């Protein structure tokens, strides 16, 4: 297993000691509080899980701008996207008149304190995704700052390579607000992920522990926000065989997606039946992480590599249009960024570059298209995501060359139930 990103040891920010966690929750009752955005709550979960190692909390304005611009923090840490707690209104935590000094606050990076931070030193962060908005973390404030409209525009363009408000990531990023609250956090909850996905949600440190128990040294990770069809299944198999990996981590996103994407519980069920039926025992670890999809294409692919390194994986499969949406990115931009923009030695994890995979009518199996130059388009069974959704919505059976029957049934049952709801 490889070392975490940026440190020798994983530093998850979740307070694992129950007594300490209960003490902090009691303290939170008397603290000024703020309901954070869904994206910030997901960042809390990722920080608590150790996926965002070695960060100790939310970035300040200078770090966010540096990361957006050049993928490096002001202290030299390589990082691809800002990890921020951005709100529309911070007045609820600016009410106290008392100012504090860096020495009093016990903070590490207090040189950035601004006049705006007169007020609460410690605040409770409340979860927008759970009824009653329970406390999800306590943050010690190092600064409360404002991004200018020009800075928001610059970060948007750098992170997403577009300013189009129709891009779901751009829309979410720009709707959260411009006030950035920075400082370290102590995580007290994993939001709804533990309760809704008890068999699937795992932290980075839990995955490390499991892989160590299984004796895995070389592990290839597969990122997914969709159900896995035959091409995905075979891609995992190809990567494991070519790399001679001990195992595969199928790591699914459990957080919020754009409208129209298939819910996490349906994807989870489809993936589990595929692994159970078609992979040898003890060769695949199925897990999920609590994060809202950014749809940031190349930048998000690099983030995916970092937090898979933090789980101990040695390789990440990066395929066609990884973490993309629509036609905002070129089909292999998410691979190119690792060669052109990621500094040599910045990451320990390696990338397994995959081409588009599809069923070959000639060879009667799934192939990587670059490996069969003699094939013509009509030699493949290929279905777009749009076509698949249309077939499922119409109650049509997916071709066995495209989807395993057991997977197709789960998806068809879901779409049938959705049609039933809409008919009422």
CATH number for the domain including 208? 3.40.50.620
Checking if the pLDDT of 124 tops 70, the result is yes
Q: Do 103 and 74 reside in the same domain of the chain?
A: yes
d(CA 405, CA 411): 10
Q: Rounded CA gap, 368 and 350, in Å?
A: 20
Q: Are residues 134 and 222 in the same domain?
A: no
Contact criterion met (CB below 8 Å) for 73 and 166: no
Please indicate, yes or no, whether residues 105 and 160 belong to a single structural domain of this protein.
Answer: yes
pLDDT at 5: 98
- Exposure on the CB side of residue 282, measured as CA atoms within 13 A: 7
The pLDDT, as a whole number, for residue 421 is 67
Are 210 and 159 members of one domain?
no
**Residue 396 belongs to some domain of the structure:** yes
Q: How many CB atoms lie under 10 A from the CB of residue 19?
A: 8
**Containing structural domain, residue 174:** 18-191
Is pLDDT larger for residue 422 or for residue 198? Answer: 198
The answer as to whether 7 is a domain residue is no
- Catalytic one of 122, 126, 225, 267: 225
| Residues 254 and 381 placed together within one structural domain of the fold | yes
Choice among 226, 237, 320, 389 that is catalytic: 226
- Confidence at residue 96, expressed as pLDDT on a 0 to 100 scale: 36
pLDDT of residue 388: 82
**Would you place residue 392 in the very low, low, confident or very high pLDDT band (cuts 50, 70, 90)?**
confident
Q: Domain check: are 170 and 217 in the same one?
A: no
Q: CATH number, domain at 93?
A: 3.10.400.10
Q: In what order do the strands lie in the sheet with 380-381?
A: 365-368, 357-360, 380-381
Of 32-41, 101-110, 293-302, where does mean pLDDT reach its minimum? Answer: 101-110
Residues 216, 205: Cα–Cα separation, whole Å: 15
Residue-level pLDDT at 420: 57
Q: Which residues have C-beta within 8 Å of that of residue 327, sequence separation ≥ 6?
A: none
CB 154 within 8 A of CB 68: yes
3-state secondary structure the chain: CCCCCCCCCCCCCECCCHHHHHHHHHHHCCCCEEECCHHHHHHHHHHHHCCCCCCCEECCHHHHHHHHHHCECCCCCECCCCCCCEECCCHHHCCCCCCCCHHHHCCCCHHHCCHHHCCCCEEEEECCCCCCCCEEEEEECCEEEECCHHHHHHHHHHHHCCCCCCCHHHHHHHHCCCEEEEEEEEECCCCCHHHHCCCCECCHHHHHHHHHHHCCCCEEEEEECCCCCHHHHHHHHHHHHHHCCCEEEEEEECCCCCCCCCCHHHHHHHHHHHHHHHCCCCCEEEEEECCCCCCCCHHHHHHHHHHHHHHCCCEEEECCCCCCCCCCCCCCHHHHHHHHCCCCCCCCCEEEECCCEEEECCCCEEEEHHHCCCCCHHHEECCCHHHHHHHHHCCCCCCCCCCCHHHHHHHHHHHHHHHHHHHC
For the chain, the domain total comes to 2
For 254, half-sphere exposure in the C-beta direction (CA atoms, 13 angstrom radius) is: 28
Q: Looking at the structure, do residues 162 and 84 belong to the same domain, yes or no?
A: yes
Q: What is the largest CA-CA distance in the chain?
A: 75
Angstrom distance (rounded) from CA 187 to CA 196: 19
Residue 213 resides in a domain: yes
Q: Which is more confidently placed, 235 or 118?
A: 235
Contact 134, 300 (CB under 8 A): no
**Last residue within a domain, chosen from 169, 191, 213:** 191
Mean pLDDT computed over 44-63: 98
Residue 410 is assigned to a structural domain of this protein: yes
In a domain, 4, yes or no: no
> Over the stretch 168-223, which tens digit does the pLDDT of each residue have?
999 999 999 999 999 999 999 999 999 999 999 999 999 999 999 999 999 999 99
Q: Tell me, yes or no, whether 1 lies in a domain.
A: no
Residue 105: its pLDDT value, please? Answer: 34
| pLDDT, mean of residues 215-237 | 94
Contact 326, 386 (CB under 8 A): no
183 shares a domain with 258: no
Give the bridge partners for 185, in sequence order: 139
Residue 116: pLDDT above 50?
no
- Top-confidence residue, 415 or 119: 415
Residue 344 lies in a domain: yes
pLDDT tens, residue by residue, 324-354: 999 999 999 999 999 999 999 999 999 999 9
- Report if residue 265 sits inside a domain: yes
Among 131, 161, 191, residue at a domain's last position: 191
Can you tell me the mean pLDDT for 219-231? 93
Q: State pLDDT tens for residues 352-388.
A: 999 989 999 999 999 999 999 999 999 999 876 678 8
Do 362 and 230 lie in a common domain?
Answer: yes
Lowest mean pLDDT among 8-12, 99-103, 198-202, 225-229: 99-103
Structure tokens at 317: 């499969």
Identify whether residues 84 and 216 lie together within a single domain.
no
Buried residues in 375-391 as b, exposed as e (16+ CB within 10 A) = beeebbbbbeeeebbeb
pLDDT at 42 over 80: yes
- Give yes or no: residues 109 and 210 share one domain: no
Domain boundary (148, 175, 191) is at 191
Is the pLDDT score of 103 beyond 50? Answer: no
Do 256 and 329 lie in one domain? The reply is yes
The CA angle 9-12-15, to the nearest 5 degrees, is: 130
Average pLDDT, rounded, for the chain: 91
226 a catalytic residue: yes
pLDDT digits (tens, 9 = 90+) for 79-95: 999 999 999 999 888 75
**Confidence band of 423 (pLDDT split at 50, 70, 90):** low
């Amino acid at each position: 297993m490889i070392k975490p990103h940026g440190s020798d040891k994983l530093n998850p920010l979740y307070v694992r000691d129950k007594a300490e966690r209960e003490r902090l929750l009691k303290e939170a009752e008397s603290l000024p509080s703020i309901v954070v955005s869904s994206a910030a709550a997901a960042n809390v979960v990722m920080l608590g899980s150790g996926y965002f190692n070695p960060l100790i909390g939310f970035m300040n304005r200078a770090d966010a701008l540096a990361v957006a611009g050049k993928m490096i923090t002001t202290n030299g840490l390589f990082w691809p996207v800002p990890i921020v707690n951005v709100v529309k209104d911070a007045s609820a935590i600016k009410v106290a008149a008392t100012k504090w000094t860096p020495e009093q606050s016990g903070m590490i990076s207090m040189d950035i304190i601004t006049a705006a931070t007169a007020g609460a030193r410690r605040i409770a962060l409340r979860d927008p995704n759970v009824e009653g908005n329970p406390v999800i973390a306590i943050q010690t404030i190092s600064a409360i700052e404002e991004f200018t409209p020009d800075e928001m525009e610059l970060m948007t363009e750098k992170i997403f390579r577009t300013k189009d408000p129709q891009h779901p990531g751009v829309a979410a990023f720009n709707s959260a607000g411009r006030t950035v609250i920075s400082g370290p956090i102590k995580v007290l909850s994993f939001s709804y992920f533990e309760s809704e996905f008890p068999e699937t949600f795992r932290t980075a440190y839990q995955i490390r522990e499991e892989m160590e128990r299984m004796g895995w040294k070389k592990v290839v990770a597969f990122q997914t926000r969709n159900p896995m069809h035959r091409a995905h299944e075979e891609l995992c198999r190809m990567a494991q065989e070519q790399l001679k990996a001990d195992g595969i981590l199928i790591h699914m996103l459990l957080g919020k997606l754009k409208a129209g994407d298939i819910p996490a519980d349906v994807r989870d069920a489809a993936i589990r039946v595929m692994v159970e039926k078609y992979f040898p025992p003890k060769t695949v670890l199925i897990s999920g992480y609590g994060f809202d999809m950014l749809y940031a294409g190349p930048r998000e692919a690099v983030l995916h590599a970092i937090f898979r390194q933090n789980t101990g994986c040695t390789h990440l499969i990066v395929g066609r249009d990884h973490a993309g949406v629509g036609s905002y990115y070129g089909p292999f931009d998410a691979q190119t960024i690792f060669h052109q923009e990621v500094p040599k030695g910045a990451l320990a994890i390696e990338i397994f570059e995959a081409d588009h995979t599809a069923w070959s009518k000639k060879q009667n199996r799934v192939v990587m298209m670059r490996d069969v130059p003699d094939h013509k388009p009509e030699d493949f069974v290929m279905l777009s995501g749009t076509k698949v959704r249309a077939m499922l919505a119409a109650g049509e059976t997916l071709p066995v060359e495209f989807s395993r029957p057991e997977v197709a049934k789960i998806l068809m049952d879901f779409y049938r139930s959705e049609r039933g709801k809409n008919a009422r």
